[in-house]
Amino acid sequence: MIYEQDADGESRYVYYGETEGLRLLAVILTERNGKIRVITAYELDAGQKRDYLERRMNEE
């Protein structure tokens, strides 16, 4: 998880990841009634890509 945000009292969780086709995406999720719900997903912008790649390098 990259960070948590509040949307009208609902916690939303932002994750960055990579697809098999090497696309870098942000995925925003929430939990409702015990189920995980995807709110949206989009390609990372330049700053988010830099953040994602730095985090990956620090994990290795």
| 60 pLDDT higher than 70 | no
* Beta-carbon contacts of residue 55 (< 8 Å; ≥ 6 apart): 2, 16
Q: What is the pLDDT of residue 1?
A: 75
Residue 16: Cβ within 10 Å count: 19
pLDDT tens across 10-53, in order?
Answer: 999 999 999 999 999 999 999 999 999 999 999 999 999 999 99
pTM attached to this predicted model? 0.80
List the beta strands (DSSP E) in the chain: 3-7, 10-18, 24-32, 35-43
Q: CA 48 from chain center: how many Å?
A: 10
